Structure 1
Amino acid sequence: MNHRPQRSLLAALGGCAAALCIASAHALPEAALQAAVAQFTEASKGKADATDASSEQFQALLKAEPGHPLLMSYLGATTTLKARDAWAPWKKMSYAEDGLALIDKAIGLLGPEHDQALVQGTPVSLQTRFVAANTFLGLPEMFNRGPRGRQLLEEIQASPLFAKAPGGFQGAVLMRSARQAEQAKDLPRARGLYQQVLARQLPQAGDAQAALKGVQ
């Protein structure tokens, strides 16, 4: 199982998530969440010891807040990273399937209340879908999760909540969608998404401007 694409995609996700802080109705412990996300960021860069630490921390957070979809989606994403790090093929598959099951469950748990609970001004519902989309799109094609990942990105952008989210989150979603369009050789769509980042003057504008040079 080749997890190089997953490593790069989840690295982008981890970099985005590392700056997040919680301000939600569930009153999640901010310091503990930040520590777990920081470990996830390191794990996404290929550090196996950080993967284990992140998994343990998200498990502890989820035990304290059972059924929280964002925590569950992060635990699922971290579990798929264990598949990247495992040596035995059967272990790789087991971790991947367990991680995907957690993410699927997290998405299934989303309800109207998660449109109101915020992560740095961004609804938990959108963040959970974004974690899922990044994970799905980073998996090898054999898992057939690419179409669902693309669908989730489209759902996020189509949500009336998206335009109200902080610029950093909007930019992360648009940049991820643009890169996916590039991979699919849909250069007109990629250009349009990068141009949206520029037009909205989002924090990723510099990256979008550089990326545009490669899709002319």
Structure 2
Amino acid sequence: MPRSLLRLARRLPLTFALSVSLSASLAAQALPEPATQTAIGHFMAATQGSSDATQASLEQFQALLKAEPGHPLLMSYAGAATTLKARDAWAPWKKMSYAEDGLAQIDKALTLLDPAHDQALYQGTAVSLQTRFVAANTFLGLPDMFNRGPRGRQLLDEIQASPLFGKAPAGFQGAVLMRAARQASQAKQGERARSLYQQIIERQLPQATEAQAALKDAK
């Protein structure tokens, strides 16, 4: 590996910002609930820093993909879990390999989305929206050197602009708006961040208390 790439690899952070609302949607086909929910639970634990949970979630999503090959949401989760292994790896070349492999999976998942995934719902949310949200969170959680921030922001905008968004459960809508607000705050877009937090509060979404606290600190 070139030295310049090694230097970049060492800059991978210890954590990725993958605050995904994972209880809202899955499946163009019916997915096995116990196995799927277990994989989601491990993935959530992985985003909080558990390397054991990272490996468990990756293996579980890979197993689910064998049963449902080409399922975009399962593929996006598997890709996101793979990028988390970059966080946990010690060797710089391993970090880069995991990150690149995970991103390739997520990119493929996005290309697999079609109108059928707008219609397919799991617990009320379109599979297409959930797949994009997993991708957006992963992209926005990566270091700038991967140049995925603009695509992550674009995906968040696409989700909010979709006519399907207003039909999604309140928890999913709140999670998307919170992520968008935090991204706006990080980008020094205080007015936009405050507007998004205010939407959550006025619509009394489940994240309203969290948004109220964040609004006090938004600049």
* TM-score bracket for the superposition, by shorter chain length: over 0.9
Give the superposition deviation at 1:2.
2.8
Q: C-alpha distance in 1, partners of 2:139/2:206?
A: 25
Unaligned runs of at least 5 residues, structure 2: 1-10
Compute the TM-score of the two structures, normalised by the length of structure 2. Answer: 0.92
Q: C-alpha distance in 1, partners of 2:103/2:157?
A: 20
Compute the TM-score of the two structures, normalised by the length of structure 1. Answer: 0.94
Q: C-alpha distance in 1, partners of 2:109/2:13?
A: 22
Residue correspondence of structure 1 range 7-26 to structure 2 within 5 A? 9-10=17-18, 12-13=19-20, 16-17=21-22, 19-20=23-24, 24=27, 26=29
What is the match of residue 3 of structure 2?
A: none
| SS state at 1:213 partner | helix
Does 1:74 find its partner at 2:84?
no
Q: C-alpha distance in 1, partners of 2:169/2:218?
A: 27
Match of 2:177 among 164, 174, 179: 174
Paired AA for residue 3 in structure 1: P
What is the match of residue 184 of structure 1?
A: 187
Paired AA for residue 89 in structure 1: P
Match of 1:123 among 121, 126, 136: 126
Unaligned runs of at least 5 residues, structure 1: none
Instruction: Tell me how many residue pairs correspond in the alignment.
Output: 209
Q: CA RMSD in A?
A: 1.2
Q: C-alpha distance in 1, partners of 2:25/2:196?
A: 27
Residue correspondence of structure 1 range 143-162 to structure 2 within 5 A? 143-162=146-165
Q: C-alpha distance in 2, partners of 1:47/1:192?
A: 34
Give the superposition deviation at 1:201.
1.0
Give the superposition deviation at 1:118.
0.9
Residue correspondence of structure 1 range 1-216 to structure 2 within 5 A? 1-4=11-14, 6=16, 9-10=17-18, 12-13=19-20, 16-17=21-22, 19-20=23-24, 24=27, 26-215=29-218
